Chains A and B, each alone.
Chain A
Amino acid sequence: MTVTEDYQPVFTGKVLDELQTVLQRYPNKQAALLPTLWLAQRELGWISDRIMAEVAELLGLTPAYVKGVVTFYTMYHQHPVGKNFVQVCTTSPCNICGAEEVLKALLQHSGAGDAGATSPDGKWTIVEVECLGACGFPTPILVNDDFVENVTPEKVPDIVKKYR
């Protein structure tokens, strides 16, 4: 996990400026790790080993330490995902209101097939997640950064059409 010569660093220009702003919010560089990883994921779409090494170097940490943190938090993608990353809540409160049917409908209409897999056209990755914190609006789903409430299987075809 070293930064090799053919690697194009992500933290340059504007992104590096953003990192400088982030660093001002904390008393040390390590504390900026989570927001820095968010920037990395926004730029690259996922967190690769190489970007972990770049982040480690910027914040004075070891790549192994950064990997330990990345793997702890479920929202950092450790492999590339589809253009639309969809998180479907299936925890008990949504579950009893039919969340598993919503998941099935999404997997079917998007062509992703299996939860966690990416559709052959690269457009969809659908995952089952634990509580999204909107239990009164079953079923909530998160399409990339868009929070969609009250999703039912009947509404799924329109959602898929909108983001395709």
Chain B
Amino acid sequence: MGFPHKSHPKETVVLSQYFGDADARTIKGWTKRGGYEALAQALTMDPVAVTDVVKESGLRGRGGAGFPTGLKWSFMPKEKTRPHYLCVNADESEPGTFKDREIMRWTPHALLEGTAIAAHAIRAEIAYIYIRGEFTEPWTIMERALADGNAAGVFGSIKIHLHRGAGAYICGEETALMNSIEGKRGNPRIKPPFPAAAGLFGLPTTINNVETLAAVPHILKRGAAWYKGLSLSNPKSTGTKLFSVCGHVQRPGNYEVTMGFPLKDLLYDMCGGPPAGRTLKACIPGGSSVPILTREETEACLLDYEGVVERGSMLGSGGVIVFDDSADMVYQIMRLARFYAHESCAQCTQCREGTAWTTKIMERILAGQGKPKDLDLLLDLSENMTGKTICVLSDSCAAPIVSGIKKFRGEFEAYLAGKRQPVMVG
């Protein structure tokens, strides 16, 4: 529900129904609203049957990759010979994304319930919820909710633990997150082996995003067919999705819509469009790691996994960053590159060197000291940063650079021709 704003009639409110309602945070309030019924039901079911319901619903990972959730669960070993683990990725740090934060702040029990159901489905005894270190308030709320859930005995034999990150974007990458829980530096691991074969502590592990797991109790309660039916047109993208809209819009916030919803309606009807007197210039639809869309592409874009790809970008985490005509695209793309340079774990050369080098080049362009060949150099570096490293952080840095130069080349060239000064916007 458009949190922190009122719910919009075009929203389909499932996950965000209780955002802003402090009573739903308590175990009493949550149970009163039908909470933990799905878990009680799941615990009486065979794990395979639970997985099948989720498979049938078409639910896909909400963290960015969009991998089918039920299928992921079914990769866990059929014969259980060793402990299994579940990791919950609450290391939400993708610029533009702030949906998991609201899920944990307002409906901590929804996450805990989904976590316990998933743990049952993959036959894991222990689940770790990895919460980024900066999320002090969600941490306190989750800690309280977990203590209350344990006291009420709702989780059965499943043990859930919270693990606090300490400031590293890369720990949102699944294998880096596992290393971080193991008390190591958050360096991503080479895959294969995939986590289902050798994950946390070398044992079979499944990792899911907060929003994915928060949807699971609803699916179990209302059925796979209901969830599937929420899709507007595309059977490959089902259910609802939270979109975090930020930047140059009048009402930034979290809006929940069915998959396939027009991005144009989200930005103009729900968020009120750009500030008065401004026009939309560009939009990053899925968190800072995906290619930038122009105004025309944005207005034609449908919000589901395939719809955004059709316009040349990706749905990612659903973090929508909006730029109006006052935004200096060169400066903002440099800021994104600087973000990746800061967050690179530095184990792969292409990423360690590439993120820092591209940032330096853009800084020099902004300072009026760019060289004629700098744009070609940026594109060449970006190509060498894409698809060549252990994880996709390097690719993520290249995406806004490549799409930015392609779509806003004029702004880069104006700096190179010395025609403008850095524009700081407020």
Q: Which of B95, B164, B245 contacts A38 (CB 8 A)?
A: B164
B79-110 CB contact bits vs A (8 Å, 1 = yes)?
A: 00000000000001111111001000000000
Interface bin, chain B: 35 or more
- For residues 175 through 207 of chain B, which have their beta carbon under 8 Å from a beta carbon of chain A? 180-186, 201
Interface bin, chain A: 35 or more
Of all chain B residues, the one with the shortest Cβ separation from A59 is B183
Judge whether B183 and A69 touch: CB under 8 Å: yes
**10 pairs from A and B in contact (CB 8 Å cutoff):** A25-B163, A35-B164, A91-B95, A93-B96, A96-B323, A130-B339, A133-B98, A135-B246, A137-B98, A137-B252
Q: Which of A2-10, A111-119, A140-148 contacts B (4 or more CB under 8 A)?
A: A140-148
A55 nearest CB across to chain B (Å):
10
Asked whether any CB of chain A lies closer than 8 Å to the CB of B153, the reply is no
B173 nearest CB across to chain A (Å):
14
- For residues 227 through 272 of chain B, which have their beta carbon under 8 Å from a beta carbon of chain A? 244-248, 252-254
Judge whether A75 and B134 touch: CB under 8 Å: yes
Judge whether B96 and A73 touch: CB under 8 Å: no
B105 nearest CB across to chain A (Å):
10
Judge whether A75 and B184 touch: CB under 8 Å: no
A62 nearest CB across to chain B (Å):
13
Known: A97-B426, A137-B4. 9 other contacts (CB 8 A): A30-B182, A33-B184, A73-B165, A74-B166, A129-B134, A131-B94, A132-B134, A133-B93, A134-B101
CA distance A138 to B322 in the complex (A): 13
Judge whether B342 and A130 touch: CB under 8 Å: yes
A64 nearest CB across to chain B (Å):
12
Judge whether A35 and B288 touch: CB under 8 Å: no
Judge whether B183 and A131 touch: CB under 8 Å: no
- What residues of A have a CB within 8 angstroms of the CB of B101 in the complex? 133-134
B63 nearest CB across to chain A (Å):
13
Of all chain B residues, the one with the shortest Cβ separation from A87 is B134
- For residues 123 through 141 of chain B, which have their beta carbon under 8 Å from a beta carbon of chain A? 132-137
Asked whether any CB of chain A lies closer than 8 Å to the CB of B410, the reply is no
- What residues of B have a CB within 8 angstroms of the CB of A137 in the complex? 4, 98, 252
- What residues of A have a CB within 8 angstroms of the CB of B98 in the complex? 133-137
Asked whether any CB of chain A lies closer than 8 Å to the CB of B168, the reply is yes
Please indicate which of the listed interface residues B161, B321, B335, B424 has the most CB atoms of chain A within 10 Å of its own CB.
B335
Judge whether A100 and B424 touch: CB under 8 Å: yes
Judge whether B248 and A96 touch: CB under 8 Å: yes
Asked whether any CB of chain B lies closer than 8 Å to the CB of A156, the reply is no
Judge whether B181 and A135 touch: CB under 8 Å: no
Asked whether any CB of chain A lies closer than 8 Å to the CB of B158, the reply is no
Asked whether any CB of chain B lies closer than 8 Å to the CB of A151, the reply is no
